[in-house]
Amino acid sequence: MFSFGELLRLFAIQRILIRHGMDEIILATHLFRPVRFILFLLPWNWFRGKHELPEVRLRRVLEDLGPVFVKLGQLLSTRKDFLSEEIAEEFAKLQDAVPPFPGVLARAIIEKEYGCNLDEVFQEFREQPLASASIAQVHTARLHDGREVIIKVVRPGIDKIIKRDLGILYFLATQAEKYSADGRKLRPTNVVREFEKTLTNELDLMREAANASQLRRNFRDSTVLYVPQVEWEHTRRNVMVMERISGIPVSNRAALVEAGVDLKWLAEAGVETFFTMVFRDSFFHADMHPGNIFISPPHGKEPPRFTLIDFGIMSSLSEYDQRYLAENFLAFLDKDYQRVAELHVESGWVPADTRVDEFEFAIRAVCEPLFDRPLKDISFGTLLLRLFQTARRFNMVILPQLLLLQKTLVNIEGLGRELYPELNLWEAARTPMERWMSNRMGIKGLYKGARQNFPRWVDRLPELPNKTIDIIERLRDGKIKLEWKSTEMEFLRNEIRSSSYRQVVAIVGSAFIISAALIYGLDGYSPQMLWGAPVLSWLLGGAGSLMVVLALNE
């Protein structure tokens, strides 16, 4: 049942839908379809003028519904396998711009977290926010040692708003799965569950700070990427303090050219850096839109450098997924579609009973039109999208980390081609992938694996002789028994037993027939020894023939 607050929220949602001419959505659902005629009786529909396109109206509805629904729309904009392309592209325009809350309130939240007056921690705190988003807003400050920092503060009461709106979203998703065939197929409850995890992670600024520290450690020796330092002493669950950075927004192409930045190098270095995160570290920034990337222009002999901010959404791939992703990528470059289909089955991304040949033909139909052009003109994001759409027909389960990877790849590719239209993302990505494959599966991989496992082997080596002797003694004494529980194994065992029985019967029967033939053939040589041989041979031959027939029919 809904709480009073959720009921009020439902009425507010209905008012917003009516305002944008979307009330037909409610009356088109299974529950209200029998009374759909009410739509024509409602006064505001009598003089309804022309509306914008449905996808535009949907975007405006989400904007009016507030931060939780805006973030949901942003998430759905990456799910072109889930929504129509028109709606997904419109949702991509959603901006996470929310009116700021008062700086006095931000000061009060920080002081409550620290348990002291703000002047004891900061030399200066600027109440005017630098930026404001749906989950938190950012202020600038100066520490007592003179260092400039930014302070990220979680919005007051946002956790209650998220909980209320998630409850409504779960209800709507459940009803869609209950009453709609498309709902049962698309499983919107899984999307809401994925969305809930994303929001929960973003609410915990300690988690975001840990993400930033890990990424900074991964690239501490890099001359290409810089990650701001976290001030752990002043970081709490609702407050995060980081080093303040400066740079040119990556979307400001004119300013980058004026600062002397090589845009070709920038685009290729950005792609290679991202794939290094994915394959070398298995820990990548999954929210790399232009607002989160700044460029430090070159100074003297120092090259330009990327700086990332906002580490609330990070993701990783298991070594298993890394391997299959890299092999898929290289198989695509070689146009080996059979190998691509086999890898999807081997990795468990599609069910084990999927026919590889059918899947291969489907992949070929998707890829051949794309690959009939120069490689640099092929959109990596478009290829992934079409593959996901194809694989869904074969009941592919698209894992959240793969969706985040696809979303980030689309952002990186779009940004890279804005900077340098001739960018060949495939070639830029090939180097880190081949390096990873070499390190994991070549001689280097074997050496690295042996070096990592050697201490464990040495630790267990002294126990090995005793364990070996113990197993041999238990086998000798009959204390170890092998038991097959699998139904397939039981069937195989019965087949072997039956086959053995048939072979024995057939051999004995054949022996009878041969014996009968010999006795019959020797008749007349020794009447004393072979008296009644014709009768005996007839009996033996008949018995043998019967046994062979039984064996063949068994």
Active-site positions read 287
What phi and psi, each to the nearest 5 degrees, are found at residue 124? -150, 135
**Tokens 């309130």 correspond to what residue?**
105
Q: Is 49 helix (H, G, I), strand (E, B) or coil?
A: coil
Closest CA to 199 of 83, 75, 320: 75
Distance CA 536, CA 515 (A): 10
- Assigned token pair, 319: 């070594």
Closest CA to 71 of 313, 292, 388: 313
Residue 277's alpha-carbon distances to 432, 440, 553, in angstroms, are: 9, 16, 65
DSSP per position, 328-356? HHHHHHTT-HHHHHHHHHHTTSS-TT--H
Distance CA 43, CA 38 (A): 10
Distance CA 63, CA 405 (A): 26
Distance CA 399, CA 402 (A): 5
- Assigned token pair, 505: 């019967």
| Distant-in-sequence, close-in-space partners of 151: CB < 8 Å, separation ≥ 6 | 106, 110, 125, 138, 139, 140, 141, 239, 240, 241
* CB count in 10 Å sphere of residue 98: 17
Distance CA 308, CA 290 (A): 10
Whole-angstrom distance between the N-terminal and C-terminal Cα of the chain?
64
